[in-house]
Structure 1
């Protein structure tokens, strides 16, 4: 059964870029897009649950923090790994979200190769490598290229 990733982000361009990066990492992965927390919470009530949730922190309405609090009270989805995918670079945000139950935290990268690297790190269970910024010309650091 193919892996399913949900991206929760109010910015349509960021969602499209994210799903394109997922497709380039592995085109068998299903990328669900939720334009905000309310949509994501509705999708999570369906039978097909994502294997991973990538969550923007700063969204209007229910923000990433509030979403995390609600998600962790829902037994059927509270165990889905959540990766915070945000513009924030504050270590205080990272500490707070990990305290709320996030499994990983990374700042939205400026290059597609970095985003693909972080997605692959999550998919392969190499969580400790997420913050690493690979050299796109180093063939040893990545199995994929832009």
Structure 2
């Protein structure tokens, strides 16, 4: 599936800028980055944000990515928005847990900008 309206939820501003730069280099997709998962959840529930896909970090303060997945799946309006985990963790049990919590996919964060662009071309128009 190719997405044109992207929401990234990640508490690391540098990771968000890295991701945003990659998105802008490969597409004209609309990018929104939010560092606070609670704020993102509120904006999704209130329909202030209506993304085609959410790229979600797992390790965040205030609310983990797993907690976010649990909460978003309770919300009728937003529960069907695909959530792709974008995390540094590469453990298979974490990937399986993410899938069990309703994630649509899992990407291990690459350190290389060109690798990130290559990965994102599968998702972003």
TM norm structure 1: 0.79
Where in structure 1 are there 5+ consecutive unaligned residues?
Answer: 125-146
Please state how far the C-alpha of 1:43 moved relative to its aligned partner: 2.0
Counterpart mapping for 1:1-146 below 5 A: 3-26=4-27, 28-44=28-44, 45-123=46-124
- In 1, are the aligned partners of 2:10 and 2:56 still within 8 Å (CA)? yes
Bigger relative contact order (CA 8 A; separation at least 6):
2
| Larger-gyration structure (1/2) | 1
RMSD, matched Cα: 1.4
CA distance in 2, matches of 1:43, 1:3: 18
- Decide whether the 8 Å contact of 2:29 with 2:124 is kept in 1: no
Deviation at 1:47, TM superposition (A): 4.4
The alpha carbon displacement at 1:58 in A equals 0.4
Structure 2: give runs of 5+ residues left out of the alignment: none
Offset at residue 48 of structure 1 (A): 4.1
TM-score, reference length from structure 2:
0.92
